[in-house]
Structure 1
Amino acid sequence: MSGFGRVAASSSVLAGIAAAGANALLVAYLVLQFLRPGDVSTSLGPLAGGLGALGAALLIPVAVALGEGLLAVLGVAAMVVLAVAWALVAGQVLTLWAAAPVVAGAATLLACWLVVVNDRTERLPPHLIRFGRRSGAAAFAGSLVIVLALALLPPMSTVQLGALAVGGVPAGLAWLAVPAWSISVGRALGRAPTAEQPG
């Protein structure tokens, strides 16, 4: 395995771990905001943002390892925007709600990348490709609904909240699954006899 292949494999595992942590903190944040809002729940937003930014940044070598040309550019662009948005949340420049449109937009691009890269790559086992493609498709559909609801519907209206719920359920479940895909990708790349950086 090349040096870049080892970096991509390790980054993928670490990205999955960071993303899983961010997801757990986001779930805790939402639950506490609903049941017991206060300083504790508010502090979870920046923590989730920090782990989210780290996870997105760590996926960049994976985008380069699994894709070529425009596909790699799409993946890297989505991950950079997502990392920056989460970093702004971590630095408390933006609240989670203020960052939601950018995060949702970047997540939609990242989900699109997940679908396409799993459809085209020959570097992953078939079961992992199917898992990534299905997770990406659900994340893309749900995230797209969220983006459209945030962009087109009156803020906090009944119809917007309904649309956010419709998109949020499949998107949330899919994004909870993506860290497992990322960790599995890292293990698969780590077992590969060769993993050269695309030219």
Structure 2
Amino acid sequence: MLGTILACIPSFVTFGIGSFVLLAAFVVSLIAVFKRGTVKWPSIVGIALSIIGGIIGAIVLTITIATALANIPVPDLPTAPSSSPADEPSDPPATGDSEGRPSPEAIGEGYKVMINAGGYHQFDDDPEFFTCVGEHFYDSDLSDEVLRDLAQGMDNTTGAEKDHAVQIGLDATFDCDPSLPRPTDQ
């Protein structure tokens, strides 16, 4: 009886101790069955209880292990990128504006703020336009710092870098709205 109780406590240590006690009870009961001049029924009951206790203990241990394994959290596996790595820029978009390259959407929103401040509201009803422009800036060779400023709607560039950023903005405008005639098309 003690071996069955110990074997049913869901732990490797108590299962081991309980199994040892059940094995000892089985051996002692088996010896008592073959001993002359003794009553046989207590020995047969001891053999039966040790076998049943071992089976019950093994089932409890198996269920405990299966439950523990089923409750182990599985981390999410990364998914394959939808486009080839050569089509994407080397720096992934950052979620915040404090570090890294801002996302194309954030750059597009900042660009919208800047052109609205200049009096241009032609594309206000076309959010895809600003995302497209943001992707052009994101894919450019402008520094992360310049793009973070642009995403915040600020223009802190000067000299050749400013000229380069203006050219990227113009090219993006004509690429993102094909209905606009390019200056070279006239």
Pick the TM interval, shorter chain: under 0.3
* Structure with more relative contact order (C-alpha pairs < 8 Å, separation 6 or more): 1
**TM-score, length of structure 1 as denominator length:** 0.26
Larger Rg: 2
